[in-house]
Amino acid sequence: MPDTNPQILLARRPQGAPVAEDFRLAEAPIPTPAEGEVLVRHRFLSLDPYQRGRMDDVKSYAPPVALGAPMECQAVGQVAASRDARFKEGDWVLGGYGWQHWSARKGDALIAVDPKEAPPSTALGVLGMPGLTAWVGLADIGQPKPGETLVISAASGAVGQVVGQLGRIAGARVVGIAGGAAKCGFLTGALGFEAAVDHKADLAAQLDAACPQGVDVYWENVGGPIQAAVFPRFNIHGRMVMCGMIAQYNSAPGSAAVGAPPGPNLGPVVRKRLRIQGLIVFDSWHRYPVFRAEMLAHIAAGKLTWKEDVVHGLAAAPAAFMGLLRGENFGKLVVALD
C-alpha cells in the first residue's frame, strides 16, 4: 500500500477561466478511517462543470472549496479498510470524495456499485449524477410526448447524451446541438438523434431545418447565443429545463455574465404559456435506486449507451477540467487513476 495520498488542491480562486496556477499538486497522509467510516481508494474521479462554481467564494447550495483544500468531486473506488459493517475490503463504491487518491467517508455517504452490472466508471456518468440529472429533469419538467421536438444543448456531453436517449425512448423527435462535426456525427450516428446542429456554424438556419415543427422541450445546458437562438422557436406549452448555463460559469461572481448576450425576450412566455424551471440534482438522490434500476433495464434492452472521455492520472485533472469549460471534452469526462 502506498504511504501518501496525492491530491490536487485549490491554490487560489480563479479570475475568469481557471488557469494552471489556480491548482496545486500536493501529498498528504492517507486518512485513517474513524468508527463508522470507510477508507476508499479512488479509481475514477468525476470532472463536472459545477466544480467551477465551487472554486468561487459565493453562497450556493453547497459551501465553496476552501483555499488549500482538495478540489471537489465525486469518485468511484474500492474499499481499502472499513469500520462500517455494510462495506468490506474490495467493494466498489460511489461517493469517494475529492481530486485525490484516497478518502475516508461515513458509510452513509457511500453507494454500493456492482461492477457486474456495468463498468464502475459509469456510476459517475450515465448511471450517476449526470444521468440522474437527465432522468429527473425529463420526468419532472421536460415531459416529452411522442412526436414532440426535444432540443438539447451540449447534447454529446454527460447529461445531454442521456437526455437525448431518454427522449427517444419517450418517443420524442430529438435534436442535439453540439460543437463540431465529430460530436454531431456521434449524435445522429451512435445515438440515433433525428438531427444535429453544429453551433460553430450558422445556428439559426440549421435550427430552422432541424425543427420544422418548432420546439416543444428545450434542455438548456449552455445559455448564451444558443439559448437566444432556440428560445424564439418554442411552441405553445413549451417547456424549458434549466439544467445549466456553462457559457457563463467563468464570469466573476455577482457580475453581469461574461460572454452572455442580452437574454431572450421573455414576452412570449405569456402568450405561449411556456414553463421554465430549474433543477438541482442533489435534491433527488433519494430517487437513485429507482433511476438506476430503470437505466440498467434500458441498457440491457440495447436502448441506452454512453460515451466517456477518459484522461489518465491525477496530474491530468486540471488541464482536462479547464478543457471541459472550453468544450474540449467529448462525452462524460473522467480521470482514471491507473
Give, as ranges, the residues between 249 and 308 that touch ligand NAP (CB under 6 A).
Answer: 279-281
Name the DSSP letter for residue 137.
H
Report the nearest approach of ligand NAP to the CB of residue 71 (Å).
Answer: 16
| Least distance to ligand FER, CB of residue 241, Å | 13
* 325 is a site residue for ligand NAP (CB under 6 A): yes
| Residue closest to ligand NAP when measured from CB atoms | 157
Question: What residues pair up with 224 in beta bridges, in sequence order?
Answer: none
- Contacting range for ligand NAP; rule: CB under 6 A; set: 36-44, 48-56, 105-113, 268-276: 48-56
Q: Is 209 in the site for ligand FER (CB under 6 A)?
A: no
Placement of cell 462525452 in the chain: 331
Q: Binding-site residue total for ligand NAP (CB under 6 A)?
A: 31
Which residue number, 107 or 130, has a Cβ lying nearer to ligand NAP?
130
Q: Which residues contact 159 (CB under 8 A, 6 or more apart)?
A: 130, 131, 133, 134, 221, 243, 244
For ligand NAP, the closer CB: 107 or 167: 167
DSSP states of 301-332: TT-----EEEEESGGGHHHHHHHHTTT---SE
Candidate segments 115-123, 146-154, 274-282, 316-324, binder of ligand FER by CB under 6 A:
274-282
What does the per-residue mask of binding to ligand NAP show for 138-177, with x meaning CB under 6 A?
Answer: ----------------x-xxxxx-----------------
Counting contacts by CB under 6 A, is residue 53 touching ligand FER? yes
Q: Count each helix (H run) and each strand (E run) in the chain, helices first.
A: 9, 15
DSSP 101-125: SEEEEEGGG-EEE-TTTS-GGGGGT
Using left for φ > 0, alpha for ψ between -120 and 50, and beta otherwise, residue 158 falls in alpha
Give dist(CA 290, CA 168) in Å, integer: 20
Q: What are the phi and psi torsion angles at 254 (to 5°)?
A: 85, -10
Interface residue list for ligand NAP (CB under 6 A) = 48-50, 130, 133, 154, 156-160, 178-179, 183, 199, 221-222, 224, 243-244, 246-247, 279-281, 324-327, 329, 332
Interface residue list for ligand FER (CB under 6 A) = 49-50, 53, 60-61, 244, 280-282
